Structure 1
Amino acid sequence: MFGYLQIEKEELLVKEFETYKAVYCGLCKQMGKDYSFLTRLTLSYDCTFYAMLLMSLHSSCGGFKKGRCTCNPLKRCNFAYSKNDDYQKAAAFSIITVYYKLIDDINDSGFFKSLFSRMIKPFFSHQRKKAKKRYPWIDEYVAEMMERQAVIEQDKSASVDISADPTAQMLGKILAKDGNDETESRVLYEYGYNIGRWIYLMDAADDIEKDAKSLSFNPFIQEDGLTLDNNIISLTLNQCLARAYDAYNLLDINGFKGILDNMMLRGFPKIQNKITDKTQKDSDKSFESQKGSKDE
């Protein structure tokens, strides 16, 4: 995924930050165990969030153990353990999303720009087949999302809502699979839908300048080449987080609540403000550049 689902470290208690790192390291260890040492390098904040959310919903944290970091054997880490397959599910989700991201990069970039993606694709294709065998429904939802996204992005006039819908539905369906009953599944779908929508639109906001230069599709860039007002972008992102938070408050969070609350109320808004501040600066530069050209 994209790495936007982050904590606000300065606002966490020390023990909460150590717990977060233990889950991160636990997922890293699981990825190496289930797939390959190299797949650990693709571990993201987003999939750590997914693992932590699942462990909280299922009360599956089985405690903590000290061990050697595989990437740095001189370092000792705390590893959080899960009593069920929550780590395995998050590891599979990570592998599958990385594979489809590679496919997207290859399709959207020229041969030389996508050369690295082409080189590592066979490796991740093999790992993705293993992940798909374990969790076929995750691969199905991600593949469906990529297919729908490709069709939508062919239409340069596609609206913000339509553009964000495939990613939103994908994450909503994946989270809904872990509901204990129909009601919880519906809440998890609503939560996942709005977090997925926020992730997609965050990535779009982050890429506005790059997409404007390359003339690539971006829902925040209008057909005439002008970017939507930054206030509208911020309002749209705020709406996603607000709806996600409403659904989050309906969930039975049994563990890691302080950390998950920190992410929802501190971490996500912080990274959003960082992105929207950047888009505002880029917009101001563009305006000054256009003004200077007219003056000349």
Structure 2
Amino acid sequence: MFGYVKIDEPELKVKDWKKYKAYYCGLCRTLKERHGSLGQMTLTYDMTFAVILLTSLYESEAKLSAYRCKVHPVRKQNVLQNEITEYAADMNVLLAYYHMKDDWEDERKAGGFAGVHVLKGKAEKIAFLYPRQSRAVEKELSELSACEKNGCTDIDRTAGCFGRLMSELLVYREDMWEERLRKMAFFLGKFIYIMDAYDDLEKDLKTGSYNPLKELSQNEGYETKCREMLCMMIAECTASFETLPCLLDVDILRNILYDGVWSRYRKIQEQKKKSEEGKHDEKPL
């Protein structure tokens, strides 16, 4: 369900791309330092966005350093880290733990069992440090799981679970910016959930897996309706974002929210267009 909140690289200036990469590598490095190699494997673009957003909002100074890693063993990579990076790393692991826990409890996936076993101790420590966020993740994922078991087709209800989850994670401090951050994150979370359901629909139809868009997909105007929902969610998200006093790296943040989040949608449309053209070419003369 993660991986949609990322940059549109061709539209970024070189200096902004390098800085984004330093934030991304900083989160990766922090995950390894705080949670080991398995924690490093939970790295997401979405939490990188959270690091940049909260660093900009709170004007938190990031330390620049350089490291080699398994992915880049020859040349050192620039790394940006601060207390926000540590927070995002903990939230990354917390989400991964509960996601794997659901995979094990709902589908008995072996990977879920292994992940829960390894991450349980780390997740418990994070829950102690951040009880509000931990309760929210557990509660909303539990409700989402119940919706899936009941075959819920109310996309607003299911997406709302993920929206509330994201609204808690992005509230780093309960202060004057809390209300605006919650609203922004709520609609961003709903966008992510709907995009994920839209992305997975074809696969889920083939496998018979749950997808809240299955019923809607049988109706005329399905594509238009999905695009309208996605546009509405990201419009509400960006409207709230623009009320925040984010000046540092604002070009990167706007690139993500106005362009990057649509990357996967554009790829899906290209694939569908090619598929339709292929079917047309196969028709006999």
TM normalised by structure 1 equals 0.86
Give the whole-Å Cα distance in 2 for the aligned partners of 1:34 and 1:47.
15
Q: What residue number does 2:41 align with?
A: 41
Give the whole-Å Cα distance in 2 for the aligned partners of 1:171 and 1:279.
30
Of residues 190, 194, 201, the one that matches 2:183 is 190
Q: What residue number does 1:92 align with?
A: 90
Identity %: 27
Please say if residues 16 and 252 of structure 2, whose CA atoms lie closer than 8 Å, have aligned partners that are also in contact: yes
Please say if residues 202 and 275 of structure 1, whose CA atoms lie closer than 8 Å, have aligned partners that are also in contact: no
Q: What residue number does 1:141 align with?
A: 136
Q: Report the Cα offset of residue 98 of structure 1.
A: 0.8
Deviation track 1:107-146 (CA, whole Å, cap 9, x = no partner) reads 343x5xx223323321122221222222222211110111
Please say if residues 205 and 279 of structure 1, whose CA atoms lie closer than 8 Å, have aligned partners that are also in contact: no
Q: Report the Cα offset of residue 278 of structure 1.
A: 4.7
Please say if residues 20 and 259 of structure 1, whose CA atoms lie closer than 8 Å, have aligned partners that are also in contact: yes
- Kindly report structure 1 stretches of 4+ aligned residues shifted beyond 6 Å: 279-282
Please say if residues 91 and 169 of structure 2, whose CA atoms lie closer than 8 Å, have aligned partners that are also in contact: no
Matched pairs, number? 279
Of residues 245, 248, 256, the one that matches 2:241 is 248
RMSD: 2.5
Q: Report the Cα offset of residue 157 of structure 1.
A: 4.3
Q: Report the Cα offset of residue 277 of structure 1.
A: 4.9
Give runs of aligned pairs for residues 74-89 of structure 1, distance below 5 A.
Answer: 74-82=74-82, 85-89=83-87
Q: Gaps spanning 5+ residues in structure 1: where?
A: none
Q: Report the Cα offset of residue 103 of structure 1.
A: 2.0
Give runs of aligned pairs for residues 52-201 of structure 1, distance below 5 A.
Answer: 52-69=52-69, 71-82=71-82, 85-109=83-107, 111=108, 114-178=109-173, 180-181=175-176, 184-201=177-194
Q: Gaps spanning 5+ residues in structure 2: where?
A: none
Q: Report the Cα offset of residue 215 of structure 1.
A: 2.4
Question: Is 238-247 or 56-65 further displaced after alignment?
Answer: 56-65
> Quick one: which amino acid aligns to residue 95 of structure 1?
V
Please say if residues 230 and 280 of structure 1, whose CA atoms lie closer than 8 Å, have aligned partners that are also in contact: no
Q: What residue number does 2:28 align with?
A: 28
Distance 1:126 1:197, change over 3 A: same
Q: Alignment partner of 2:136: what SS?
A: helix
Q: Report the Cα offset of residue 281 of structure 1.
A: 7.2
Give the whole-Å Cα distance in 1 for the aligned partners of 2:72 and 2:262.
32
Q: Alignment partner of 1:37: what SS?
A: helix
Q: Alignment partner of 2:170: what SS?
A: helix
Please say if residues 58 and 254 of structure 1, whose CA atoms lie closer than 8 Å, have aligned partners that are also in contact: no
Question: Is 4-13 or 124-133 further displaced after alignment?
Answer: 124-133
Give the whole-Å Cα distance in 1 for the aligned partners of 2:229 and 2:270.
15
Give the whole-Å Cα distance in 1 for the aligned partners of 2:2 and 2:152.
24
> Quick one: which amino acid aligns to residue 103 of structure 2?
D
Q: What residue number does 1:205 align with?
A: 198
Distance 1:281 1:125, change over 3 A: farther
Give the whole-Å Cα distance in 2 for the aligned partners of 1:30 and 1:91.
7
Distance 1:279 1:169, change over 3 A: farther
Give the whole-Å Cα distance in 2 for the aligned partners of 1:276 and 1:221.
18
Question: Is 116-125 or 237-246 further displaced after alignment?
Answer: 116-125
Q: Report the Cα offset of residue 213 of structure 1.
A: 2.2
Q: Report the Cα offset of residue 269 of structure 1.
A: 2.1
Please say if residues 92 and 132 of structure 1, whose CA atoms lie closer than 8 Å, have aligned partners that are also in contact: no
Distance 1:178 1:281, change over 3 A: farther
